[in-house]
Structure formats: structure tokens, C-alpha cells
Amino acid sequence: MQEQIPPGQRYVKKFIYYAALGVPEVDLQSYRLKILGEMENKLEFTYKELLKMIDTEYVRDFHCVTGWSVAGVKWEGIKMKTIASLAKVKGTAKWVMFYSLDGYISVVPIEDALSEDAIIALKMNGKPLDKKSGFPTRPFIPHLYAWKSAKWLTAIHFTSEYQDGFWEERGYHERGNVWEEERFKGEGYSHSGMKRRPIL
């Protein structure tokens, strides 16, 4: 457990599961995680390849924007920095879009996506992610609210221009830092050049 809990949060014993667009079926035979956008090397990985790339294991709390947190979760995954290095992401990339198999999208500033603790998570508490938790993989950035941690991840897009994701276009914050309590747009961090997508 961390030394303190972020403002406005309370600890609960178990995860509360959400699926804004439903829980998709995953076919591991055809599954690929694609790395796209402002980079020199466009990449894609099978699930087995991702498992072999795990380079990080740590214990961090999980924070939902609705106000609950789960303490002391063990995570295993691949550093986002590792992915970015393999792809040779260009300096023009300012945002990272995470795309899910169900059509869900989240957006994160690149400085957060490439922070030291930012990972592509494949295991939680010593086991592969289960279906409700986002199997086969999801991003996890401990200092951001969990809506940024798009479950059932299928693509990572490094881009120079901001676009709203699913919850951002419904008023949620562009960054979502838990310690700054950035739940909704207009609170703290801001950006310029925003482009809005049609509501799904």
C-alpha cells in the first residue's frame, strides 16, 4: 500500500468492474497489439511475444475516478518506454491513444505514457489478466485514474494531435492525474489544439 491515498479516494477490498461498451471476445490466434503513428518502426506483437517481453514487476494501488481505490495490487508488464524505444517514436508525438477491442479509446499525454511506472500490463497479482480485468493486456499508469487504462488493448497510437477518447468527449479530463484530482476538464492541466470525435 502507498503511504497515502489520493484526495477524494477511499480504499475498497475488491475491484468494481465496468465495461462501457461491453466485454469483447478475444481470439488469441488472431490477436495482435499494434504500435502505430509518429514513429520510425511500426510494430505488432502476438500475446506470446508480449509475455516474453515482460520487464517490470511492482506493487501499486489502482484508482478509479468514481472514488474507490484498491491497495497493493501486484502488476507485471512491459514498460511503455521499452515499446517506444523499439518503435523509435518521434519527437513530434505529444499524445498516446489507446484503442480497445470493444471500440473504447483513451488518450494520455506522452510524458505520462512514457513515465517510469507506465506499463503495458499482462499480469495482475501473479496471474494473467482475467477477462473482466482486460485480458489479454491493458496499459497501467499508476498516477492516472483507471479510465485511462483501456482494457482489451489492441493498438497504441503515438500522435502529434489531441483527440478525445470515450470519456474525454463526455467531459472527463485530458490527463486525469489522481494526485491533482483531475477528474473533469477545466481542472488543472490543459492543452491546445483539441479536436473532438463524434460521440460513439
Q: State pLDDT tens for residues 170-190.
A: 999 999 999 999 999 875 544
Look at residue 19 in the predicted model and tell me its pLDDT. 74
18 vs 161 pLDDT, higher one: 161
Q: pLDDT tens across 7-56, in order?
A: 999 999 999 887 777 788 899 999 999 999 999 999 999 999 999 999 99
Residue 7 burial class via C-beta count within 10 angstroms: exposed 0-12, middle 13-18, buried 19 and up: exposed
Residue 82's contacts (CB-CB under 8 Å, 6 or more residues apart) are 53, 55
Query: What average pLDDT does this structure show over 137-145?
Result: 97
pLDDT score of 185: 85
CATH: 3.40.50.300, 3.90.550.10, 3.40.190.290, 3.90.420.10. Which one for 10-15+31-170? Answer: 3.90.420.10
Residue 1 clears pLDDT 60, i.e. is over it: no
Tell me the pLDDT band of 97, cut-offs 50, 70 and 90. very high
> What is the C-alpha to C-alpha distance for residues 18 and 116, in angstroms, rounded to an integer?
27
pLDDT on residue 24: 85
Domain segments of the chain: what residues?
10-15+31-170
* Residue whose grid cell is 475516478: 65
Confidence check: pLDDT of 191 > 90:
no
Tell me the CA distances in angstroms from 98 to 12, 110, 152, one per residue in order.
27, 12, 10
